[in-house]
Structure 1
């Protein structure tokens, strides 16, 4: 039984988009976020416990991912370097939580929430419940989402409109660097060279490289949506 939960040739290696196991994790994520928001004030005394719990989830999931790939003989420069957007966000979230740096927060608020939400809705995942990779994948992405929300709801950090611009420019700088890495290695990190094999949002955005241009507009639109709650708050404060 244990081997089936960790093996690369597991009977649970058939994850299906919007299957029961997928819908359950989506609902669980929504409930977790809603509960986090509702009880943000009662959770204030436990802020350090929450912060270290998120750090444990982020670091632990990344270590497990690499160790698992090494053990099964699948670790590769082409697939397992931390150059996918969510992998990059894991490291940014880790440093943000350790340092409580505002500049990291305003970047990860947009990159983390937009990227990890899309990953949970259309995951590039090939292992279903109860395989260990199923849990590792969703724990990592839920932790990415909760990290900037922790900084917002528990630590009281706020976003300004300039943060939208800085985050968007940072995303493009990261993408440019990763593109060069892809060219050098023949890899496809951040899906800058071709679409992923699984069903994703990119399937609706046209062929390569047209979907990259569409992604620019979608990313900026999502960043504006994520800024909107702070815009409302800032406007209300100005009126008052």
Structure 2
């Protein structure tokens, strides 16, 4: 049994199987702990832990690329960090290292939107206890947990302009990714065509109109997330405090 090999038949992944449910449960427990103990964590010196987490994430990602190379699976058309979750991963590491509020604003939206969908419907063929299983769930878990940690513990909050910044950021990425897709034969961010296996994109119209539909959905979901996580003031803030665990 090779935990770093490429024989998918040894570890066939089953969506919503026991290992998948367990990984989602770990994320849920982590988020509950972060929220319930947010006041305690505010009093701690967390920077060494933040840097340590960033280093561990970078190390796991590096091992993933080594695994791809060793198993002759690294190809420029699919291994570049140009998927939405790859970009969110880079922003997660940057946020942990720098504490940048701009990075936080963008990561809060694209990280929660992209990684939550990835965790619920993983594009994954290898199951526990293979390295790839740990890599996938470890990185995606922290893509969600880190911006929420900065919200609940560090006190960062998005503004309405955060939604605009995120839309601008995504539209700056769009031509770059389209260019890479054209010259590598890749389909990063599904901007060249829809997945052949079928997906929710099938409900958003034909190419290229589904890309515009995705932009509209991203902006709409961004507004929803802003409403949930924005700074509460006045009576609204008092109601939020009364309903908290504190």
What TM-score, normalized by structure 1, do the two folds share?
0.89
| Alpha-carbon displacement from aligned partner over 1:204-231 (angstroms, at most 9, x marks no partner) | 4344333322211221121112111234
User: In the aligned structure 2, how far is the partner of 1:81 from the partner of 1:141?
Assistant: 17
Q: 8 Å contact 1:82–1:88 — kept in the other structure?
A: yes
Moved more, 32-41 or 195-204: 195-204
Structure 1 residue runs of 4 or more that deviate by more than 6 Å after TM superposition: none
Pick the aligned partner of 1:34 from 12, 26, 32.
Answer: 32
What TM-score, normalized by structure 2, do the two folds share?
0.87
Moved more, 208-217 or 120-129: 208-217
User: In the aligned structure 1, how far is the partner of 2:28 from the partner of 2:238?
Assistant: 31
User: In the aligned structure 1, how far is the partner of 2:171 from the partner of 2:237?
Assistant: 32
SS in 1 for 2:40: coil
Moved more, 217-226 or 127-136: 217-226
The residue number in structure 1 matching 2:20 is 22
Query: Relative to 1, partners in 2 of residues 1:231 and 1:91: Cα closer, same or farther, differing over 3 Å?
Result: closer
Q: How many residue pairs end up in the alignment?
A: 237
Compute the displacement of 1:157 (Å).
1.1
Structure 2 runs not aligned, ≥5 long: 240-246
The residue number in structure 1 matching 2:217 is 218
Q: 8 Å contact 1:124–1:196 — kept in the other structure?
A: no
User: In the aligned structure 2, how far is the partner of 1:182 from the partner of 1:31?
Assistant: 38
| Alpha-carbon displacement from aligned partner over 1:123-175 (angstroms, at most 9, x marks no partner) | 11111111110110010111111121122122211111111111112112112
Compute the displacement of 1:33 (Å).
1.1
| Alpha-carbon displacement from aligned partner over 1:179-218 (angstroms, at most 9, x marks no partner) | 1111121111111112335564334434433332221122
Compute the displacement of 1:234 (Å).
4.0
Moved more, 12-21 or 162-171: 12-21
User: In the aligned structure 1, how far is the partner of 2:108 from the partner of 2:49?
Assistant: 17
Structure 1 runs not aligned, ≥5 long: none
CA RMSD of aligned residues (A): 2.2
